Chains A and B, each alone.
Chain A
Amino acid sequence: MNRIWDLSEHGSKMAVIDEYGRQLTYADLDSEAHALADVIGHRCLVFSLCRNEIGSLVGYTAFINNGIVPVMINSHQEEALLDNLLKTYCPEYLWVPADMKDKFEGMLSVYEARDYCLLKTEYKKQYPLFDELGLLITTSGSTGSPKLVRQSYLNVLDNAQTIAEYLKLDDTERPITTLPMNYVYGLSIINSHFLVGATLLLTEKGLMQKEFWNFFKDQKATSFGGVPYTYEMLDKLRFYRMELPSLRTMTQAGGKITPELHEKFAAYAHDQGRNFVVMYGAAEATSRMGYLPPEKAVEKKGSMGIPIPRGKFTLIDAEGKEITEPFSTGELVYEGKNVTLGYAECGEDLAKGDERHGKLETGDMAQFDDDGFYYIVGRKKRFLKIYGNRVNLDEIDRLIKGEFEIEAASSGVDDHMFIFITEENKAEPVKEFVVGKTKLNPSAFKVITIEEIPKNESGKTLYNELKKYYE
């Protein structure tokens, strides 16, 4: 059916090499993907438990290219949330790492390949799927919400084409994975590079592991992506001194990088004849909305750039009027073919059509300068990005209140969340609870006990008054 890529077009080119030296050409990938898709044989919903491994990639390719709709889920997902997602959407199949099979009692394995297995569920109910629905992405990946972003085939294809265009990708590229496949930024790297016949270097290892860098050097990686925290780690690793002759491009997204790091990496890239590309996006816009052309990286430090080709940004003020003056703050609105269909919050929603009609209110507050470059200056809603993951603060408060029946108010800055409570003996259990729910490193969270949560007369929490504890 080839909904996204014509894999056979790149036939003998190498599509993927993993950290153990296993390789698949595009022709191999095409035939393995077809074998899996043929077992399923019809359009239906599949939960795909993702890892940066060949089995996971074959699954994704098989599903999206053949009209089978995958829900992309991290294989480390907290069990309660996974159960909640299963009950909510009743998929016909699960595609899971073979070593996790035993967790799904009562489901029959009907096919195995590449250390992954296809499990048939026994849900009686199958929800109808909207014709154009191609892919479902979990939103926060954390706080228990079964909300999914509904992406169409056109969304995925259009965004992949646009990314390949502005990053000038071709078949000599060899991106190395640094982000999970269930995360839209990680997925967009796969999508855009498979369009041009490039070679994906697939590894579960991370920046802090020697095996990662050996794989990087041995396989001559040309690019990688990173969230702001990735660049903090690279800075700490004194990345600038590493010998990486094959490296061409570093991209950054998943939150705003500090101006200091932006400057350091832009200067490094400039000196070394490499590209550092700051980008802006969201799962609700498939993946990318804006990028800072690498030749502007030094000059426009702190900016996330301009809209991607054929996309459009506008800023809307509090009265709903379009802002035309530079350096005025308004909500950033994006228009483009990559704006997704909408959300799903229950099985019935999978039949819904396009609710956004190509227009997305991002919830980010922004300004543009005299040259039309955009700067994110704040957020409309209460959420933080922690290591690139969106964490909704109101939801965290609700979860804590529900679990412990105590008062709680969370606040903070990206990568550092502060949770305020009034009962000191609950500090440790609250922290453990939040770490368990979000599955994020404990060092991002601090619980502070205070006398009283500041509130106004109508009982609304005054979050601004909490700032004095951490600023």
Chain B
Amino acid sequence: MANLEKYNNAFIETFEITEDKLAGLKYQDIEAWDSVGHMGLIAALEEAFDIMMDTDDIIDFSSYEKGKEILSKSEYGVEF
């Protein structure tokens, strides 16, 4: 599976939303993305890409786009 697809699936499955809702999606835009949902999303991403995210990156992960930027960093090395 391509990385973008894995990334999108983590959102789609955790928040039970459709793909067209992803662009521009921010923390607390939808009820499912609260602190509980955030933890679920991080767990899903860590599993999908087999990584362990740093505390600062977990709390900085404030939108769909910001998340891509974070995962593209060298320590995670996810290419989109």
Contacts and interface: CB of A to CB of B under 8 A. Distances in A.
Interface of A: 206-210, 212-213, 229, 232-233, 236-239, 241-242, 387, 435, 439-444
A237 B59 contact: yes
B75 interface: no
Interface in B13-50: 14, 16, 27, 31-32, 34-40, 42-43
A209 B42 CA distance: 13
Contacts of A443: 14, 32, 36-37, 40
Contacts of B35: 206-208, 233
B55 interface: yes
Nearest to A213: B59
Interface of B: 14, 16, 27, 31-32, 34-40, 42-43, 54-56, 58-60, 62
A101 B47 CA distance: 44
Contact of B42 (A236, A242, A435, A442): A236
Nearest to B27: A209
Nearest to B15: A442
Given A209-B27, A236-B42, A236-B43, A441 B37 contact: yes
19 contacts: A206-B34, A206-B35, A208-B27, A208-B35, A208-B38, A208-B58, A209-B59, A233-B36, A233-B39, A236-B42, A236-B58, A237-B55, A242-B55, A387-B36, A442-B16, A442-B37, A443-B32, A443-B36, A444-B36
Contacts, number: 54
B34 A238 contact: no
A237 B58 contact: yes
Given A209-B27, A209-B62, A241-B55, A441 B42 contact: no
Contacts of B56: 210
B39 A208 contact: yes
Leading 10 A-B pairs by shortest Cβ distance:
A441-B36, A208-B38, A208-B35, A206-B35, A210-B59, A237-B55, A443-B40, A238-B55, A210-B60, A233-B39
Contacts of A242: 55
Contacts of B38: 208
Given A441-B34, A441-B37, A208 B59 contact: yes
Contacts of A442: 16, 31-32, 37
Given A209-B27, A443-B14, A229 B59 contact: no
B39 A236 contact: yes
B15 to A, nearest CB: 8
Nearest to A238: B55
Nearest to B37: A441
Given A208-B27, A208-B59, 20 more contacts: A206-B34, A207-B35, A208-B38, A209-B59, A209-B62, A210-B59, A210-B60, A210-B62, A233-B35, A236-B39, A238-B54, A239-B55, A241-B55, A387-B36, A441-B32, A441-B34, A441-B37, A442-B32, A443-B32, A443-B37
